[in-house]
Amino acid sequence: MSPTSPRNMLALGLFALICCANSPSVSAQDYDLATWGERVYDAFASKQRYPKRALDAKLEGTVKVEVTVGQNGDIIGFKINQSSGHNVLDGSVLQILNRINPLPPLPEGLSSFNFKIPLRFNMDDQQTRLGAEVQVAQATPDWKGWQRDVSRILARNQGYPTQLIEEGIEGTVRVKVQIAMDGTIMAQQVVESSGNPILDDEAIDLMRRISFPKLPENKESVSLTIPLSYRIGAKG
């Protein structure tokens, strides 16, 4: 991998910042911090999601974020230094930070560290499609209404990992969920993999973040298998 590859951009930025701030000489801690920066970049790249609402509206932009990290890797503060111009993209920052928190522990000798990173949302020449097919065995009107509500919740919350959009990776994940009477998702597991661990993790993370409406007819619990699709095609 070349020194100027996207994966190394954050690491090189951190490295340059420390070198300039301290002295012309390069210490072992500087190298440790550059390596830490690479791991941080990987964390952001694997956990960033393109919100479905932004994909549907074809919104693009870059959110410039400043993050403060404690010694053990916990994110102890953040702020948006530059908006993308779209609330839905800016609003996804907190979700991304929650997914990656905590980051790797800081190199020895550092009690805290502050860094800046641009989070880019760019669809390039790709048109993405997200979908979830919800089917319940019951055919009563109450269950059909519940099914429609669940489909809407999934549509609002499903996102596409930005790293996979850039790499052109798609697939379908089948997730089995156990739903309690009040709509809480008590358990979730992948029963059919997409073939990509990031997509599989995204499907599980989605089910952990949401809850469904109360079950109809005082049903105590229900088990569903939901296919979540992630598709990419050329625009136009």
Tell me how many degrees the CA angle 33-64-79 measures, rounded to the nearest 5.
85
Q: Could you report the per-residue pLDDT of 62-109, keeping only the tens digit for each?
A: 999 999 999 999 999 999 999 999 999 999 999 899 989 999 999 988
Pick the closest to residue 78 from 45, 129, 34, 117 (CA basis).
117
Q: What's the CA gap between 211 and 219, in Å, rounded? A: 16
- What pLDDT does 14 receive? 47
- What pLDDT does 42 receive? 86
- The model carries a pTM of 0.70
- Cβ-based burial of 105 (10 A; exposed 0-12, middle 13-18, buried ≥19): middle
Write down the mean pLDDT value for the chain: 85
Q: What's the CA gap between 211 and 185, in Å, rounded? A: 6
Strand partners, 66: 79, 116
Structural domains for the chain = 6-121 (3.30.2420.10), 126-234 (3.30.1150.10)
Cα-Cα-Cα-Cα dihedral of 50, 54, 60, 66, to 10°? -60
